[in-house]
Amino acid sequence: MISLTEEQQSAVEVEKHLLLAACPGSGKTRVILAKLLGLADTVEKSPRFIGCITYTNAAVDEIESRLRVYGTNTSTEKCDVSTIHSFCLQHILRPYSWLVAELPPTFKVLTREIADFEQIVEAVEDHFGRATMARTFDDYESLRVDVHGEPAGDGFEHGIVTRDSAILYWEFVRARGFLDFAMILFYSLRILREHPFVARGIAARFEWLLVDEFQDTTDVQLAIFRELHRHLTTKFFMVGDHNQSIMSFAGARPDLAQEFATEIGAELDYSLTANFRSAPGVVNTAHTLIATNPRMHSEGKAKDFDAKVTYVHVSQPLNAITEHFLPMLQDEGIELGNAAVLAPWWTHLIPVARALREFDIPVFGPGARPYRRRRLLAGLAEQLGACAESEHFLGLPGVEKALFRLIGDITGATRFDVFSYAGRRTALALIYRARACATAHPGGKAWLYQIAAEIAEQLYTDGWVPAPPTALLEASADEMVRDMRANRVDLENLAISDMGLFANPEKALKLITMHNSKGREFDAVALISMNYGHLPHFSSTTQEQYDEARRLFYVGITRAKKVLLVASDFSDRRNRPCPFITEAGLMLGGSEDW
């Protein structure tokens, strides 16, 4: 039985469409879980299901793991938990792609990590006679399709992508047998619009759809929900916070979510105002920045936390970490693994990560790896490095996922059977091999080369590859070693745990962009590079862009439980502190214990 507060219980008991406003740290996952379990009982003896759509795979894993704890086998089987892209793939695109002539008969999902992505972008740019730069790939990665099938996104609106290059890019993606995430959503919408029987069937299957992070639902996603609602057989339970709407670059706007909720007649008067995460001092800072009614307040253990909220103006972002944040962690007895450094962009984090690495401070995030993340061997080596020195098998799912990607990169085939008994057997065998290698080769460099050979042999023995990929994996190990040498890593003293840090980063200081911090929480948070031009971005020209930047600052603040450091800097003489620092009531040099 899941214990709920009066606010939470009231929301769970609503039997109509509902848009629930949930403040940061309000326990919305617990509410969603309770709603899921209650609804699953009502459809136990029917052919219908309860769908739950959440924002990230990590959130899917969390909800599914809690379902297994609190639910029965029957109730768990009645719950379909997925991201919106997985939902569209499973229920629309894979079974009905044959309805769209231009789609490849079988397709794989194209991500930035797959080599084909850069090859396609280079081919498109070459066609138009343009040289590719690092920003070029970012622009194409941000490309999306709007509800009318036209190009949109930051790379199109502010970057180098044109309508003609976007159309050619999509043609090349399809020609190689891929769809990217934006194409998955658009073609799903197109199938629902052009073939109502598909939408009717999905609506008949799902009694309810529970949607998390609803404030960041995009225009295309909402159009998909409209097509499902058109058949009036599915109810919606939507949870979100318009004060945390920060995904306009993906097509999300808080007013779109509100319009949909009003359109379907959803209840709008329910809210979760108790924050079980942050100390009163942190909550008060957030409320000063964006006042809410009813007011957010600390509850549970959080209301007894002593908060330390500090603003500093320093010469360099790194100084905020070394001279202020790390000493604060030491004073408060907070371990590095429970702390995070947030910045508006990953470009702000990379130099900080490299500098901290030189100080032998373990860090996890952009620029923390001393080798390229996309090296063929890197992902699986990291997972096995984490497992090699542990006494449990909690890292097994991570090994399976890395194994899936590696086999795909080597063979070009999508082997979902990696997630079957056969794949788990291979993953376990590799963990045992990694541990044996750690005993025989305790040095990180020697272990890396040996595990490359062991992986190649195991993949061939178990039939995942037609021939042992020994040369490929050893070449990848060579590349990783060259990368580390170029980054001045002490290879003679490289530990196996250094390899595993990126798969199991509990003891490392986290470096995360403010957008990617959404849904996370830490005992201590430092917000760096809080300068005007970074936040809001210098390209912001509208009130909505300014307001979204404020909401992003709000998201950053509310990741902290006990310690919050906000830092602007004068690394450039033109730098001015972010205006939201003043709006939040923070004073220069002020350090307040609440």
pLDDT by 10-residue block (mean), the chain, 594 residues? 90 95 94 94 92 87 86 87 93 95 90 86 95 89 93 91 96 95 96 96 96 92 95 93 90 88 95 96 96 93 93 95 96 94 90 84 79 86 85 83 90 85 94 92 90 95 94 93 83 77 76 91 96 90 92 97 96 91 83 45
240 marked as binding residue: no
d(CA 479, CA 452): 12
Closest CA to 17 of 196, 272, 228, 200: 228
Q: Cα separation of 48 and 271, whole Å?
A: 28
Q: Judge whether 370 is annotated as a binding position.
A: no
CB-based contact 216:245 (threshold 8 Å): yes
Query: pTM to 2 decimals?
Result: 0.84
Q: Is 26 annotated as a binding residue?
A: yes
On whether the CB atoms of residues 537 and 546 are closer than 8 A, the answer is no
Question: Contact 376/443 with Cβ under 8 angstroms?
Answer: no
The values of phi and psi at residue 534, to 5°, are: -90, -45
51 has binding-site annotation:
no
Is 201 annotated for ligand binding? no
CA dihedral 413, 416, 422, 426 (to 10 degrees): 70
| Residue with the two structure tokens 């030189």 | 358
Q: Is 28 annotated as a binding residue?
A: yes
Distance between CA atoms of residues 121 and 584, nearest Å:
42
Q: Any known ligand binding at 300? A: no
- The confidence score (pLDDT) of residue 500 equals 67
Q: Look at residue 589 in the predicted model and tell me its pLDDT.
A: 59
Close Cβ partners of 6 (under 8 Å, ≥ 6 residues apart): none
* 3-state SS assignment for residue 203: helix
Instruction: Write down the pLDDT at residue 291.
Output: 94
Residues 6+ apart with CB under 8 A from 556: 342, 514, 517, 525, 527
**Residue 578 counted as an annotated binding residue:** no
